[in-house]
Structures are given as C-alpha cells and as structure tokens.
C-alpha cells in the first residue's frame, strides 16, 4: 500500500491531521461504525467527562480495528461527532496524543450534534482504515 499525504497548507499539522490521504495499492478497506464511550455490554461509561469518553471511545475503536487485523495507524479518515464542540476542543489533547502515539494522521471532520445514540454519550467516532 502506498500513502500520500496531501496538505496544501501547514496549519493542520499542529492539530495532528491532514487535508487528504491518497491511498494506492491497498488490499482492504475497513469502514467502522461509530464508536462511543460504552462498556462491553453497550452501557455508557464516564458520563460528563469528555476526556475520559474520548479515551474509552478510542479504546473501543482500537478493539474493532484489532478484530479486523488493523490498528489506529491504518486509519485514513475520522468522522467525529460531539454534543459539545467547545468541551471537545478543550479535551482535544486526549485524542491528538493517542493518534500521534499510533502514527495516525487522518483526514477528519468534527461535527457538533444535538444528541448521540445514547443521551450520556458526548462523543462518537467513525473511522475508515486501509490495510
């Protein structure tokens, strides 16, 4: 697989994402459903703690990717939904550090929404990985 990062500017580098990922010669594409801060039974955890919810959401995303034979480093695209954009941005370091640690520089979009599937959820993340 060959990956080319496309960044006409440099401002996004400090936030750990890219404007586009071009992928050639990939074997598989994995489309992950939205992951949130829930336990193994699907019950919400860490209510009201945005940083902790981001961490649990990434744990769950990594579990799905691992089951598919992939990892965070294979993620090319993230869709991030949150019920509170300001709180999410305050806790952004929880996401950015995990992605940087994994060598993940996805193209991503952050969207503020009124509510997620479970009322206690503050953040939900969808991913597309290529291996």
Per-residue model confidence (pLDDT) at position 23: 85
Structural contact between residues 110 and 82, judged by C-beta atoms closer than 8 angstroms = yes
Structural contact between residues 36 and 116, judged by C-beta atoms closer than 8 angstroms = yes
Q: What is the CATH number of the domain that holds 120?
A: 3.30.1330.40
Task: Tell me the CA distances in angstroms from 35 to 5, 6, 73, one per residue in order.
Answer: 25, 27, 17
Q: How confident is the chain (131 residues) per 10-residue block, as mean pLDDT?
A: 86 84 86 94 95 98 94 97 98 97 96 97 97 92
Per-residue model confidence (pLDDT) at position 118: 95
Provide the b/e sequence for 40-50 (b: ≥16 CB within 10 Å). eeeebebeeeb
Lookup result for tokens 């945005």: 50
Per-residue model confidence (pLDDT) at position 27: 87
Per-residue model confidence (pLDDT) at position 49: 98
Per-residue model confidence (pLDDT) at position 15: 80
Query: How many domains would you assign to the chain?
Result: 1
The parent domain of residue 117 ranges over 2-130
DSSP states of 25-68: S-S-EEEEEEEESB-TTS-B-STT-HHHHHHHHHHHHHHHHHHT
Per-residue model confidence (pLDDT) at position 16: 84
Residues 6+ apart with CB under 8 A from 37: 44, 45, 46, 52, 53, 54, 56, 57, 60, 120, 121, 122, 123
């Amino acid at each position: 697989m060959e990956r080319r990062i496309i960044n006409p500017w440099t401002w996004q580098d400090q936030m750990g994402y890219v404007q586009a990922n071009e992928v050639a010669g990939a074997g598989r594409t994995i489309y992950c459903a939205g992951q949130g801060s829930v336990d193994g039974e699907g019950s919400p955890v860490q209510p009201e703690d945005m940083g902790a919810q981001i961490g649990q959401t990434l744990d769950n995303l990594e579990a799905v990717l691992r089951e598919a034979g992939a990892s965070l480093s294979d993620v090319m695209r993230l869709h991030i939904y949150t019920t509170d954009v300001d709180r999410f941005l305050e806790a952004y370091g929880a996401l950015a550090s995990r992605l940087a640690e994994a060598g993940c520089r996805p193209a991503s979009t952050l969207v503020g929404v009124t509510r997620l599937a479970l009322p206690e959820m503050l953040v939900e993340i969808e991913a597309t990985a290529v291996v």
